[in-house]
Structure formats: C-alpha cells, structure tokens
Chains A and B, each alone.
With several copies, the nearest count.
Chain A
Amino acid sequence: MPGLEDLYREIILDHYRNPRNRGELETPPALRVEGFNPLCGDEIVLYLDFDSNGGVADIRISGQGCSISQSSASMMSAAVKGKSVAEIDELTRAFKAMMSIHENTLEGAETAEPIDAPDVKLGDLEALRGVVKFPVRIKCATLAWNTLAQGIEEASA
C-alpha cells in the first residue's frame, strides 16, 4: 500500500509552493494554449515563445491545479526552457514512459508491455515517479505535458 510520502516528495511540495516560470507572456508573439483535466476541472494555460527552429525559447504558466499538476508544470517549464523540439520530444517521451506504466495498466494490465524509454536525465521530474502508484493522479502529472505537446503541434501547423 503506497503511502503519502511516495506521492508528495519534498521536491514536489517545493515546486508547488514556489512554482517556476509562473505568469504570462505577451500574445503574440507568444502562443497561448489551454489544457483541461476533465475529471477534476484543473486548467492550465501555457504561454510559449518559440525560437526560429521551433524550440521553446521561453515559457510561462498560469491556471490552477493541485500540487501534482502544478509542480509537474513547474518542473516541466524548467526542463524545457531553451530546449530544441527534438530534445523536448525526448524528454516528453521519457516522462510519459515513467508515467505510462500505469496508464497502460488502466487499459488492462494483462497486455501492458514495457515502454521503450529514451535514455534521458529527468532530474527533478524523477520525483514524480511515485505518482504511478496513484493512478487517478497520473492525469494531473501529465496535464502540462499534453498541453505543451498541443502547443508545439499548433505552432508547427
């Protein structure tokens, strides 16, 4: 039975209390993307400034959410700022691989296969590994990432 300390690591609470890159960017030039967690009503708004190659030059976050979704967004913003599309893509896949062990279980444990994860350092984000033990919260942790992916897609479209 997982305990609270598996979920609420100190570093998560730190990002929650002191979120990085909180705020807005002027649109345009920045792109504004909204994400919803349909289950709980959490909303996240990302502001993204892209560099000439489509990488994320700057990022700001607003919206509301629980400690998991807010800290995940905060960590993500620190991790992707200044990164190229390819680097972000790798990070995203590594993060989702960490999370999706359980996303797959939800879809039927008996068919879950190990996900092949890119060999990337997740840094602070590692602290979110405990979330997989709390399946309902996985959507909280992945909300910012899905919203970022949507933003990158919109920008390149």
Chain B
Amino acid sequence: MAVSVDPIDGTAMKAQFPLLSREVHGKPIVYLDSAATSQKPLAVLDAMDDYYRTINSNVHRGVYMIAEEATNRMELARALVRDFIGARSSSEIIFTKNATEALNMVAQSWGRANLSAGDVVVLSHMEHHANIVPWHMLVAEIGIELRWIPLDNEGRLDLTDLDTLLNGAKVLSVTAMSNVLGTMNPVRTLTDAARKAGAISMIDGCQSVPHSATNVQELGADFLAFSGHKMCGPTGIGVLYGREDLLEAMPPFLGGGEMIRDVRLDGFTTNELPWKFEAGTPAIAEIIGLGAAVEWLNGVGMDNVRAHEIALTEYTISTLHERFGDRINIHGPSSPAERGGVFSFDFDGLHPHDISQVLDQHAVCVRAGHHCAKPLMKLLGIGATARASVYVYNDTTDIDALADALDATGAFFTL
C-alpha cells in the first residue's frame, strides 16, 4: 500500500495540547478517543481565559465597553464558523449547547410545524442516538414513519433502494461520517436524492466537520449539526447551520430573552435570525472558544488535517493487521480514502470493557461500548466495541503504543 504524505509534524503538534504532556499510571498519555471529544490547544484555552479575565459581561444589551467587546468577539466567532463551513450568512449559524440540541431543534421546531401523521423521515442504520431518538419522539407524538437506509457488508450505506426509501419522504437525516465504523458517506448524492424527492436534508456533521474541509453549498445540505468539543473547541457549545429561508419559516424553539423583538402580556414577536433561536444568555465564553478553535484549525489547514488522518489511518490498519492478523477485526471500510480515523475493533474475543481497562493501565485511552449507536450494534450482532480514534495531534507513536498495549492485554487475559 502506498503510504500517503503526512503534512503534519506530530511532536510540534502535541506540544500545543497541554493535556497530552501529562502522565497516567506513570506513563505518557496516549489519547485515542477524539471521536468522543477532542483535546484543546492552548490557543483555545487562552481565548476563553482571556474573555473571563478581561471582557466577561453579558452580550447584546450592554452599552459599556467590555460588553461591546464581548458582543463583538462572540459575533466574530459566528462569522468564523460561517466561513469555516461556507454558509452564506451569519444568520444561518445558530449556536446550541451541543450537536444533540441542534438535531433536536430541527426535529422539534421544523418537525412539529411541518410533519403530520404518516409523514416519512429517512435515517440510516449507522446513526448516532442523537439523530434517532428525536425522531422516535415524533413517532410517539405525531405518528411519523421512520425508514432506514441499510448498510453493505463493509459498513457503507447501501443506496440501492434510496429512491424508493425517499419516495414521499419529507426529511432525510443522515450522518456524514459514522462514529463507529469511520465510514464517510456520499453526502452530496444523498442531499441530491432528497431534493429530487422533495425532502429536506439534515446532515449530522459531528464526525466530519472536525476532520475535513466542509462547504454546505457543496454538500447541498439544508441543515448541518455539529459540536464544538470534537473540533478542538470547548464543551457546552454546538452549531446548527440552517438555510436562511427554512430558518425564517421555522417557529422558535426555546422562548426567553434575546430571541424576542417584543413581549407583551398577550404575546410576543420573534427577533431576527440567528438570535430567534438563541434564547437566554448565550454560552459566550464557549462561543469565543469555538471561534478560536476554528481559527486554530484554519491555521493548520483542514486539507492538512485530512491528509494527516488518511496517512495515520493507513498506518493504523496495516500495523494492527500485521501485528495481530486474525486476532483483530476492524469494522468499517477497508480503504482509508473512504473512511475517517475511527477504528472500532474486536480483539481476541475479549469484551471491550476489559480491553479498555487494561489499555488504561498502559495509559492508552480508548472507548468501549455501544458508542450511542445501539441499532448499528444490533445490526453488527455485537453489544459493544472497543474504539480507537485519532485526530490532528496523534501520530504513529500513538498507534505503536496501542499495539503494544493490545499485546499486553491479550497476554493478561490468557494467563
């Protein structure tokens, strides 16, 4: 296999992430759980700290200098996010508390206003619970019907019957990349098919936006949801991108301050976009932190991030296969170009909890469980997997450490 060129220097990169210099159980930490949440570069921590130390104040309503400055920095972050995903206007960037809230906002606000009994929503078998349960709630409330795009045997979407599934559908909501299998889905094909069928499309970008260049115009998506904490940003912040005309027509989600134009005893009118969907005091520090994360990622270059992860994916798959042969089974597509750096695996017939526990003793952090994708787990016929996932700060030494620790795990349980 021709190994891709990796534009990123692992050592210099790691130095920017304070957590990566700590030790666990006396060994340097090997963080391989970025699909759950990423580590944060100093630039992001500093941006938030600086907000709290110099301009902390409530936004949008203060006439005094630090409140103006806070408002400016928050709205600048919105503009950074807008450009990061190629949205046309800042009105289309709505800050939420996480991607889950963004997905719920569409299901609940758009859904309640536009769906009725028998209407069809198309999902896929590889969705995260965050893109399943909100729709289940509408099944119970409204009586919509859910249809599921199946998977092929390498864990890719099987689009053979897509047009049939979309026939008469109102919504297509699918992840751009599986957080279990690593599969990167053909988003444009999906959104084109949805549009042809007269359905709106929502893309769960949680695993794709942090890892590759994103342009909502090219994706053709009506809605896109993602989380800050998986893209070098802080916890407590997510984004819903929505096409302006859809957002204009959509009823508000939460009621309160910021989202109103006028409130009387007998009713209220809503504020302009995007604030119509941002009730209450925003997550100001977190928005500013997300803006800093976007700037930081722009500095690295999203194409470099992707190239780095393709190279690391090649290395990971070949290393694990070389060292463990049939003892390991890595789920998902075999070609690195079709997948992101998420590796769910079965090893030696051991339970993922036990694998992860022993790996931890070697300071290797991987996730064990259903990864919030129980329907996919059931389809795969397993209860849980161990999952290692990489990001821009990982390098081949991390993969070597994982392999060494897996060796030790196998040994421990066959004693």
Give the interface of A toward B (CB within 8 A). 1, 3-4, 7-8, 13, 36, 38-43, 64-68, 70, 105-111, 134-137, 140
Choose one: B61, B354, B358; the contact of A39 (CB below 8 Å).
B61
Choose one: A1, A107, A136, A137; the contact of B79 (CB below 8 Å).
A107
Q: Which 8 A-B pairs have the closest CB atoms?
A: A108-B79, A41-B370, A66-B353, A66-B351, A40-B369, A64-B383, A38-B261, A41-B384
The docked-state distance in angstroms from the alpha carbon of A68 to that of B350 is 12
Query: B18 contacts which chain A residues (CB < 8 A)?
Result: none
Q: Using known A-B contacts A3-B361, A68-B353, determine if residue A43 contacts B71 with beta carbons closer than 8 Å.
A: no
Residue of A70, A108, A135 with most partner-chain B CB within 10 A: A108
Q: Are B354 and A67 in contact (CB under 8 A)?
A: yes
Choose one: B90, B361, B384, B412; the contact of A40 (CB below 8 Å).
B384
Interface residues on B, range: 35 or more
Q: Using known A-B contacts A41-B370, A111-B83, determine if residue A106 contacts B413 with beta carbons closer than 8 Å.
A: no
Query: B79 contacts which chain A residues (CB < 8 A)?
Result: 107-111
Choose one: A3, A13, A42, A135; the contact of B68 (CB below 8 Å).
A135
Shortest CB distance B357–A (Å): 7
Is B262's beta carbon under 8 Å from chain A? yes
B336-377 CB mask vs A (1 if < 8 Å, else 0) is 000000000000000111100110010000001110001001
Q: Are B83 and A40 in contact (CB under 8 A)?
A: no
Q: Are B358 and A106 in contact (CB under 8 A)?
A: no
Q: What are 17 A-B pairs at a CB distance below 8 A? A: A8-B354, A8-B412, A13-B413, A36-B261, A39-B369, A40-B353, A41-B374, A41-B383, A68-B354, A108-B78, A109-B76, A110-B83, A111-B83, A134-B357, A135-B68, A137-B353, A137-B357
Give the residue name and chain of the A residue nearest to B90 (CB).
A107
Is B80's beta carbon under 8 Å from chain A? yes
